[in-house]
Amino acid sequence: MELGGLQALWLGSHADPGIIRDPRDLARITEAFRFTASLFDSLHGICGTPYVLADAGNLSRLMRYNEPTRANAVRAAAAARLIDAMPKLGQRTVARLSKMTPATDVLRSGETLADYARRSISGTGHVSGTCRMGAANDPLAVVDPQGQVHGMHGLYVADASVMPTVPSANTHLPTIMVAEKIAGGLSR
């Protein structure tokens, strides 16, 4: 999830124990979390501090803000203005209201991270639109039409996150098409 410079590495609701039943899965998930968090070290100037949901059960409460309503449009505009005007204060306010915590808190120890994964991991459904595709002069665009992240040579995104809007249907086939198109451009 991206909101201004506020990044959420991990969103979960109620954990599905089948996802991490095998200890090797838990090891892979925690290693992937560490790796993803390490990427923010070099991207900190662009992305800001990575955050995670402190209370995984809070996701369902937050999802109501995804509904396309006039009230949510007003809330989003106010949050965006606050983040644009006072980035640090805006990020802290959004993090506090959404009950998020810096990823470094989860990474304090291996057991803290494993406990977080056990409590939090779940499927996320039709996640899309978090790295909008568009021209470099589009302030909402994260990647160009070839999937390359603006200002980051060699970094590409080739999944549903580049869709400029959240589709109203299943994202499986459009995501395959996006990935194949971007991969085809990379192979040239």
User: What is the side-by-side order of every strand in the sheet holding 2-3?
Assistant: 2-3, 6-8, 50-53, 100-102
DSSP 46-86: HH-SEEEESSGGGHHHHHGGGS--HHHHHHHHHHHHHHHHS
Question: Whole-angstrom Cα distance, residue 58 to residue 28?
Answer: 25
Cβ neighbourhood burial of 120 (10 Å; 0-12, 13-18, 19+): buried
> So what's the pLDDT on residue 56?
65
> So what's the pLDDT on residue 10?
41
State whether residue 2 is helix, strand or coil: strand
Please say if the pLDDT value at position 21 is more than 50. Answer: yes
Query: Which residues are known catalytic residues?
Result: 126
- Higher-pLDDT residue of 167, 126: 167
- Higher-pLDDT residue of 32, 11: 32
- What is the pLDDT averaged over residues 36-47? 76
Provide the pLDDT confidence category of residue 6 given band limits of 50, 70 and 90.
very low
Cβ atoms 22, 117 nearer than 8 A: no
Question: Whole-angstrom Cα distance, residue 73 to residue 79?
Answer: 10
> So what's the pLDDT on residue 168?
72
Please say if the pLDDT value at position 107 is more than 80. Answer: yes
> So what's the pLDDT on residue 155?
92
Please say if the pLDDT value at position 78 is more than 70. Answer: yes
Please say if the pLDDT value at position 173 is more than 60. Answer: yes
Strand partners, 2: 7
Please say if the pLDDT value at position 167 is more than 50. Answer: yes
pTM summary value: 0.52
Q: What is the mean pLDDT of the chain?
A: 80
- Higher-pLDDT residue of 187, 185: 185
